[in-house]
Amino acid sequence: MSLRVKVVVITLLVIVFVVGALTSPWLIYYYRESQFNSARYLVESNGGGLSFGMVDGEYFLYLSNATDQTIDQLLPSLLNLPTGFTFIGPGEDREFWLTVNDASISDSRLAKLCELHLCHICLQNCQNLTDASAIQLSKLAHTYVSIGEGVPFSDDAIRRLQSSLQYRCDVYPKRAE
């Protein structure tokens, strides 16, 4: 190979490297944004909502009138959402703020929802849940749990949940002690 060919090859390699270095963040951003948008569309088409907190980089997931089939349909997309502090690069794990309202989900589907990296979960009017879900919730480390009206946990299950989570568990309205 002549010197001129070597210079051309090296110049082309440098150009490819520079172009790749400049465009890769945008390609990653576009891919991750499209992942988020497809998950958001799927959640919204099932009567819920999904948003992204720009300050702390958390996902806010609202599920209304969800069923077991809804959870089965949504969970793969939610588990594959981008992690990291930004859409561009790696960083802290993203956490979910989850609100489940007027849902007819079973204990097993709530356990599947707990596979998400949750920092907060709020349950209201989830009539199909049993004390088994309270046991599952008590195992969540570093997760704040709010139990609203219409969640049929027994008083004993509520006491055990509050005891295991301590300050990270709210029940409203307050139940008689």
The DSSP-derived string for 128-157 is: T--HHHHHHHHT-TT-EEEE-TT----HHH
Would you say residue 138 has pLDDT above 70?
A: yes
Residue 177 within a domain: no
- Look at residue 57 in the predicted model and tell me its pLDDT: 74
Instruction: Output the six-digit token pair for 73.
Output: 């349909």
Residue 144 within a domain: yes
Contact between 52 and 60 (Cβ < 8 Å): yes
> Bridge partners of 96?
59, 118
Sort strands 59-64 and 49-52 into parallel, antiparallel or unpaired.
Answer: antiparallel
Q: What is the pLDDT of residues 86-118, one digit of tens each?
A: 544 555 577 899 999 999 999 999 999 999 999
Q: What is the pLDDT of residues 47-90, one digit of tens each?
A: 999 998 877 778 999 999 999 999 999 999 999 887 664 544 55
> Stretch 154-158: mean pLDDT, rounded?
92
- Look at residue 175 in the predicted model and tell me its pLDDT: 63
Question: What contacts 64, CB < 8 A, 6 or more positions away?
Answer: 47, 48, 101, 102, 103
pTM over 0.75: yes
Pairwise pLDDT comparison (163 vs 22), residue with the higher score: 163
Q: Looking at residue 106, which CATH number applies to its domain?
A: 3.80.10
For Cα atoms 17, 18, 20, give the angle at the middle one, nearest 5 degrees.
65
Domain of 88?
A: 3-171
Residue 176 within a domain: no
Residue 156 within a domain: yes
**What's the structural domain count of the chain?**
1
Sort strands 169-171 and 144-147 into parallel, antiparallel or unpaired.
Answer: parallel
- Look at residue 97 in the predicted model and tell me its pLDDT: 95
For Cα atoms 157, 159, 163, give the angle at the middle one, nearest 5 degrees.
115
Question: Average per-residue pLDDT in the chain?
Answer: 87
